[in-house]
Structure 1
Amino acid sequence: MRTGTVERLWRYPVKSMLGEELNAAGVSERGLDGDRALALLDAESGRLVSAKNPRLWAGMLGFTAALAEGGVAISGPDGRAVEEGELSEQLGRKVRLITERPSGATLERAVPEEVLARGIDAEVAVTVNEIGRAAPDGTFFDFAPLHLLTTSTLARTGAEAERYRPNLVIRTEDTGYVENAWVGRELCIGPDVRLRIVIPTPRCAVPTLRHGPLPRSTAALRVLAEENRLVPLEGMPALPCAGVYAQVLASGRVAVGDVVSLS
């Protein structure tokens, strides 16, 4: 059953940095080629650096990462190239780039409702979460290797797609949070790629933060907290959600304009 078309496509070579928009990309069980290929490790805590704890790491969303010959190219908020050795000074904490996820790797996630109520600079409760529960070994995905979001959900929240950091934005003609109904089903994209939709994507404080030129926006999370609270996994509380996570069942290539169908 035809569901929509691929409207936009992103990869994020360094976890929690801004990424690069693409016209097409290869897809394997590890997600889009080059996506979340690297991350920063905080020397003090031993945890992965993530803007999910905005008091420490909101500045990550001022940096942009793109794949380049021989590795990754990082640019700072002023658009100038940044070398790995400069990142610690610019972020205010000692960090290093890593290319493989350590066993049991964790990150800190601020309680999003507290960030909404008290602001990103306040001391708020954080949880420590192990990442990659449904992701291939060694990758830096929070849960699964692909994140999908529909234009229907974006129309409902009124927020820019960049705030939710999707891999694929899918244009749909229905209204509301249509991808909620995709969980547990298979999705075909173009002639080859086949996905299994595993859970709705719980949202943290990240959508509310400044993303490059986009200013802060509490509405990007507040609307979801009011309208679309779901239980992503058994044992979890109901959380504000937007989009869905997916695992790759069949590899191939995806491109803007590809037809998306529920099988």
Structure 2
Amino acid sequence: MLIGHIKEIVRHPVKSFHGESVNQTKIMEYGLYGDRSHAFLDDTRQGKFLTITQFPEMARYKARFVGEELMDKYPKVEIMTPEGKILNWGDEELNKEIENKSDRKISPITYLPSYVPLGAIEEENIQLVTDASLDKLKEIWGKTEVNHRRFRPNLLLTLKEKIPFIEENWFGKRMKIGREVEIQLKRHCERCMIITVDPDNAERDSTLLKTVVKERNNHFGVYASVIKTGEIHVGDEVLLIE
């Protein structure tokens, strides 16, 4: 059953940095190619990553891959700082800036193109949200807009029938995207303070999280796991497989 199309594909080459919109990419067993493949370990908290929760301004650092998606190595990761300076992943200047601004000792880590572990990515391979649910949340929140980047999804779906939160009825079902890819809808995405951070200016607004907690039982968006890998493109048809 055709339920809609892919409106936007978003991946985050660096965990907690502003992601990049891409017209097409590979779906790996772990999720989008290179999603959260580069990260900073927070040396003040053993085994934990530095994220927007500890350092909200991370949301203003824009990361993107520059080059071909290869299986043996990643393309160059280019980063634009909030001040507009262009740096590359691995530059000591970037590491020092993050340490100084966050007031934490950090260690950069890079995973393989073939494997990024859960935890670095999210709690599941892929997170998706729908346009109908975003529009309804905007209405509930009472604001003029809700930037979907607050929720850090991988896939933004535009639905054929604009039924808010219909995706929460799909748990256990499979979804086919384009010609190759299949994913299985797993469960709710429980929200945290990260959605309170405006991805454009890192300003905080706690009322969004309070609204999601009160009106949506702290759920917005859904998680999915990868069943069949392949390529996806913006505009691909999305089919729900009963």
Q: Same fold (TM over 0.5)?
A: yes
Q: 1:77 maps to what in 2?
A: 82
Q: 1:162 maps to what in 2?
A: 149
SS of structure 1 residue aligned to 2:55: helix
CA RMSD in angstroms, aligned pairs only: 2.0
Q: 1:126 maps to what in 2?
A: none
Q: 2:123 maps to what in 1?
A: 143
Whether the 8 Å contact between 2:127 and 2:153 is mirrored in structure 1 is: yes
**Cα distance, 1:138 vs. partner?**
6.9
SS of structure 1 residue aligned to 2:34: coil
**Cα distance, 1:210 vs. partner?**
2.5
Whether the 8 Å contact between 1:37 and 1:139 is mirrored in structure 2 is: no
SS of structure 1 residue aligned to 2:133: helix
SS of structure 2 residue aligned to 1:254: strand
SS of structure 2 residue aligned to 1:156: helix
The partner residue of 2:167 within 160, 173, 179 is 179
**Cα distance, 1:97 vs. partner?**
1.1
1:136–1:89 distance in 2 versus 1, CA, 3 Å: closer
**Cα distance, 1:146 vs. partner?**
0.7
SS of structure 1 residue aligned to 2:59: helix
Task: Could you tell me which runs of 5 or more consecutive residues in structure 1 were left unpaired when the two chains were aligned.
Answer: 102-134, 230-239
Q: 1:57 maps to what in 2?
A: 55
Q: 2:35 maps to what in 1?
A: 35
* Letter aligned with residue 260 of structure 1: V
Normalising by structure 2, what TM-score? 0.83
Q: 2:186 maps to what in 1?
A: 198
Distance 1:137 1:40 in 2: 14
The partner residue of 2:212 within 198, 203, 224 is 224
Q: 1:8 maps to what in 2?
A: 8
SS of structure 1 residue aligned to 2:49: coil
Report how many aligned residue pairs link the two structures. Answer: 217
Normalising by structure 1, what TM-score? 0.76
**Cα distance, 1:62 vs. partner?**
1.8
Task: Could you tell me which runs of 5 or more consecutive residues in structure 2 were left unpaired when the two chains were aligned.
Answer: 68-74, 139-145
Distance 1:195 1:145 in 2: 9
Q: Between the two structures, name the one with larger relative contact order (CA 8 Å, sep ≥ 6).
A: 2
Q: 1:48 maps to what in 2?
A: 49
SS of structure 2 residue aligned to 1:9: strand
Percent of residue pairs identical: 28
Does 2:100 align with 1:89?
yes
